[in-house]
Amino acid sequence: MGAGPFSEVVACVTPPSVPGIVTCLQEISDDEIENPHYSPSTCLAISWEKPCDHGSEILAYSIDFGDKQSLTVGKVTNYIINSLQPDTTYRIRIQALNSLGAGPFSHMIKLKTKPLPPDPPRLECVAFSHQNLKLKWGEGTPKTLSTDSIQYHLQMEDKNGRASNLIIRLASKELLHDKTPKIEKVNDHICEITWECLQPMKGDPVIYSLQVMVGKDSEFKQIPDLFSVNYT
């Protein structure tokens, strides 16, 4: 004959439970971190998505990073684990906590800290003239690192006390300078300037800058960057 009428409405509330499983646990790349205290040799940065709280507010997260090491953080969805060992692999997982207890752990990810950077090399000035310096450095590269994988940043302080980069990458541990250019007069309007050529460093071309003073008391004027050995 069919269905009869519904009964009266009765409200029922299920009790709250521990949080759901944390998802999307992943590493944050070094380029995305702006924390000045972050070091890729002793820190790992992770992020995750907030799980379902199952009726009770999430109060904190517990991060497990292996060998019975864990830490508890607040209501965040990203964190930097610090005071780690360099060049070490860690297995990391995370669970959410509320007033009823801890939810299940997330999936596990393996992250590795980077090796410590090389010690600073010993810098020496082996020769100098009125406008040139010959610098040499070494004794700062660990045996575990290839010299071909090392990049050197050379800085010099200007008259205002600020340091500026001179060389971004060097193929060797010695900075070489050209000898004094030779100037030969061709006629009253043309001079030929010749200088020694340096070998390209790891494939990067060597760019030469030539400045000319017109008049005794005038300032030097820059001629566009040069790639050739001779310029007229």
Q: Is residue 80 domain-shared with residue 38, that is, in the same domain?
A: yes
Q: What is the pLDDT of residue 10?
A: 95
Distance in angstroms between the alpha carbons of the first and the last residue of the chain: 109
Q: What is the pLDDT of residue 200?
A: 63
Q: Which helix (H) or strand (E) holds 49?
A: strand 44-49
pLDDT digits (tens, 9 = 90+) for 108-127: 999 999 998 888 888 888 88
Name residue 69's amino acid: Q
Q: What is the pLDDT of residue 175?
A: 47
Q: Does some domain include residue 17?
A: no
Q: What is the pLDDT of residue 143?
A: 54
Q: What is the pLDDT of residue 169?
A: 47
The answer to whether 105 touches 131, Cβ cutoff 8 Å, is no
Q: Is residue 171 domain-shared with residue 184, that is, in the same domain?
A: no
- For 148, list phi and psi in degrees, rounded to 5: -70, -20
Q: Is residue 27 domain-shared with residue 108, that is, in the same domain?
A: yes
Nearest to 60 by CA among 92, 96, 93: 96
Q: What is the pLDDT of residue 50?
A: 96
> Which residue range forms the structural domain that includes residue 216?
178-232
Q: State the pTM of this model.
A: 0.58
Instruction: Pick the last residue of a domain from 159, 177, 195.
Output: 177
Distance of alpha carbon 123 from alpha carbon 143, whole angstroms = 19
Q: Which segments in the chain show pLDDT lower than 70?
A: 139-149, 165-177, 179, 198-205, 224-232
Q: How many domains does the chain have?
A: 3
pLDDT digits (tens, 9 = 90+) for 191-219: 888 887 766 655 566 777 788 777 777 77
Instruction: Pick the last residue of a domain from 112, 129, 160.
Output: 112
Q: What is the pLDDT of residue 102?
A: 96
Instruction: Pick the last residue of a domain from 177, 196, 224.
Output: 177
Q: What is the pLDDT of residue 166?
A: 67
CATH code, 72: 2.60.40.10
